[in-house]
Amino acid sequence: MNNLEIHTIESLKFEDLVSEYKERLYWHIRRMVISHDDADDVLQNTFIKVYKNLHNFNGESQVYTWLYRIATNESLTFIKKRKRTTHISNEEVQESLVTNLTSDPYFNGDDAQLKLQQAIDTLPTKQKQVFVMKYFDELQYNEISEILGTSEGALKASYHHAVKKITEYVTAH
Amino acid sequence: MKSKKENNKQQFNIPLGYFESFENRLLTELKFQELFPNKNDGFSVPAQYFEKVEQVILNQNKPKGKLVEYNFKTIAATVAAIAAVLLVLFNVVNPIEKEMQFDSLSITSLENYFEEEERVQDYLSAEELSTIENSTSIFDNETVSEELIYEYVDQDIVQSSLLDQ
């Protein structure tokens, strides 16, 4: 169990949450929005929302899954807003970001990692979320279920489909 | 006696088609791990980013004094209170009219009031009515025609008194 999942409501301090969770939330957000600058904005928005709603946290979920849910929602809101302001589809924006990863100063992956990002980019939003949470963030299905509000059975099916599609994409390219 | 293996078969169930899909899922996972032996996404961050961003977030969310939440009721009550105070002050500084006295009423306005008021006798005593009548022209002989008098006085009483004569 994560050492911070034993936090009680009474012991929640905003400074501690930022200190403990900023990196994990950043990487989750970064894998969703791709660009570092965008991830930086979304991370700050996430903690602003956490700060404003800290008194509303009722302890029914783990602290981490609560934070993760806010970060996930903020990422999706950001992606939707970006679609409205740029007047081009999310898929086109994401494709452009992934295509330009080679020129991104904060991407230093090799060819395999670049292909992996391109393959992830082809996935539907839900499958992408499940894959990122399971594979990179190493969350348990019950935690992902709590964050996304989807049954564990459906999550397992989504993850399997995602892995299969990625494997097929990388093999074909 | 049933073997342990048979017992397990009866006690536990599995999802429909589990063994058929298991092989397929296993091979997919093995192929994926072969392609990506290291779990790395290739992303990086600027130097000292996490130290800096923590400070930025904490500075953004520092308490800035007590926040007062306004709503429509609060605003309406405040505006009403200010308006009431201003109205009182205005009346004190510029009184519009003094307390109304009977003496200050004009004769014409009194006459108009009584002409329009049909049941004035319900509200005034006989003495008061007499005083008013003497002070106004509404009951002057010149203004009261004979027809009006006949209408006012019960016709039967007049006729019977004439017959008696």
Where in the sequence is the domain holding B30, given as residue range(s)?
A: 10-35
| Among candidate residues A32, A112, A129, the one with its CA nearest the CA of residue B40 | A112
Q: How far is B57 from chain A (nearest CA, A)?
A: 6
Nearby residues of A82 by Cβ (< 8 Å), 6 or more positions away: A38, A90, A93
pLDDT exceeds cutoff 80 at B78: no
Q: How far is A40 from chain B (nearest CA, A)?
A: 8
Residues of B in contact with A30 (CB under 8 A): 43
Interface contact B57-A44, CB threshold 8 A:
yes
Is B47 inside a domain boundary? Answer: no
What does the pLDDT average to over A87-103? 74
> What ipTM was reported for this prediction?
0.78
pLDDT exceeds cutoff 50 at A4: no
Is B107 inside a domain boundary? Answer: yes
Q: In the prediction, which pLDDT does A1 show?
A: 43
| Among candidate residues A20, A26, A28, A21, the one with its CA nearest the CA of residue A136 | A28
Instruction: List the single range of A2-6, A84-88, B38-42 with lowest mean pLDDT.
Output: A2-6
What does the pLDDT average to over A27-34? 93
Q: In the prediction, which pLDDT does A143 show?
A: 93
Q: Where are the domains of chain A?
A: 1-108, 109-173
Which residue out of B20, B57, B60 would a mutagenesis test of the A interface target, given it has the greatest number of A Cβ atoms within 10 Å?
B57
Interface contact B45-A113, CB threshold 8 A:
no
Task: Please give the CATH topology (third level) of the domain spanning A109-173.
Answer: Arc Repressor Mutant, subunit A (1.10.10)
The more confident residue out of B130 and A136 is A136
The Cα B160–Cα B165 span in angstroms is 9
Is B65 inside a domain boundary? Answer: no
Residue A3 pLDDT level (bands cut at 50, 70, 90): very low
The Cα B34–Cα B45 span in angstroms is 27
Q: In the prediction, which pLDDT does B61 show?
A: 80
pLDDT (tens digit, 9 = 90+) per residue, A37-74? 999 999 999 999 999 998 888 777 788 899 999 999 99
Q: In the prediction, which pLDDT does B60 show?
A: 84
pLDDT exceeds cutoff 90 at B144: no
Q: In the prediction, which pLDDT does A160 show?
A: 95
Is B18 inside a domain boundary? Answer: yes
Interface contact A26-B53, CB threshold 8 A:
yes
Place of tokens 């329009």: B116
Q: In the prediction, which pLDDT does A11 show?
A: 59
Residue B85 pLDDT level (bands cut at 50, 70, 90): confident
Interface contact A112-B36, CB threshold 8 A:
yes
The Cα A134–Cα A144 span in angstroms is 8
Is B24 inside a domain boundary? Answer: yes
pLDDT exceeds cutoff 90 at A131: yes
Domain count, chain B: 2
Task: Please state which CATH class domain A1-108 belongs to.
Answer: mainly alpha
